[in-house]
Homo-oligomer: A and B are copies of this chain.
Amino acid sequence: MTAFDPRSIKALVCDVFGTVVDWRASIIREGELLASAKGLNVDWAAFADAWRAGYPKAMDRVRRGELPWTRIDDLHRVILDELLLRFDLGSLNADEVDQLNRVWHRLTPWPDSVAGLQRLRSRFVVATLSNGNVSLLVDMAKHAGLPWDCILSAEIFHRYKPDLEVYRQAADMLGFAPEQVLMVAAHPSDLRAAREAGLKTAYVVRPLEYGAGRRGEDVGDDRFDVVANDFVDLAEQLMG
C-alpha cells in the first residue's frame, strides 16, 4: 500500500447512522419521552437495538431483488410494526406510530460531528453517503445543523451499500476519481467495500454506538488510510 497523502483527497463521503449521529441514544431518549407522556413501560435500549438489528435483513431483501426499491423509511416502518407487538406498544395511535417511525429523521449528532464537519468543509467537499433516504437525511441535517455540501443517498442510486456501485457512482457524481474521495465510517464493512470500489478510507471509532461496553463490528487486523477518534480528530489529521 502506498502512503496516504491527504492532499490527494478532494471530497469526503460520510456514513451517517452511527458514524455522525448516535441513533441508539436518540431512540432511547425519544422513547422515554413518549413513555412518560403515555405512561408506558418499555426497555427502550432493547427496543432501539432490535429496530437497528432488523435493518440489514430488510435491506438485504432489496439488495437480492426480493423487494423492489424500498426506502429506509418504509423498511423502518415494517420493522417497527413487528416491534409494536413485541414491546407491547399497541396503545399508540396512528399518528404516534408515524411520529415514532420518523425518529430516524431526528437523530442527534455525536458531540464532535458538527464542529469537525464544519472544519472539514472549509477544505473538502463534504457529503453524506448513507443508506438513509434523501428526505430523512435532509430533515436530520436541518434538525442537527449538519453542514453537508451535498446529500448523497442510496436512494439516488437505487442500490444499498455495500454495493460497490454506490461508492463508484457517488465519486463520479461529485466529479472526482474514486481515489480522490475518502469514505468516512465507523463500520469496517462499509470501508472495505469503499476500498474495493477504489476510494480511500477513514475509520472513525465510535465505541459507544451499541451502548457502553458493547462491541460493534470487529476491525480485525485491517488497516485503513486514516483512523480517527472523532470528526475533530479527523479534521486535525487531514488538515492539521
Contacts and interface: CB of A to CB of B under 8 A. Distances in A.
Interface of A: 73, 125, 127, 133-136, 138-139, 141-142, 149-151, 155-156, 173-176
Contacts of A139: 175
A141 B151 CA distance: 13
Nearest to A105: B175
12 contacts: A125-B138, A127-B138, A133-B173, A133-B175, A135-B173, A135-B174, A135-B176, A138-B174, A139-B175, A149-B151, A150-B151, A155-B173
Contacts of A127: 138
A138 B134 contact: no
Contacts of A141: 149
Say how many copies of this protein the assembly contains. 2
Nearest to A151: B150
Contacts of A174: 134-135, 138
Contacts of A136: 175
Contacts of A73: 175
Contacts of A156: 156
A155 B135 CA distance: 18
Given A125-B142, A142-B125, A156-B156, A150 B175 contact: no
B155 A149 contact: no
A118 to B, nearest CB: 13
A150 B173 contact: no
Contacts of A175: 73, 133-136, 139
A156 B134 CA distance: 12
Given A134-B173, A135-B174, A155-B173, 13 more contacts: A73-B175, A125-B138, A133-B173, A133-B175, A134-B150, A135-B173, A135-B175, A135-B176, A136-B175, A138-B149, A139-B175, A150-B151, A156-B156
Nearest to A155: B173
Contacts of A155: 173
Contacts of A150: 134, 138, 151
Contacts of A135: 173-176
A198 to B, nearest CB: 17
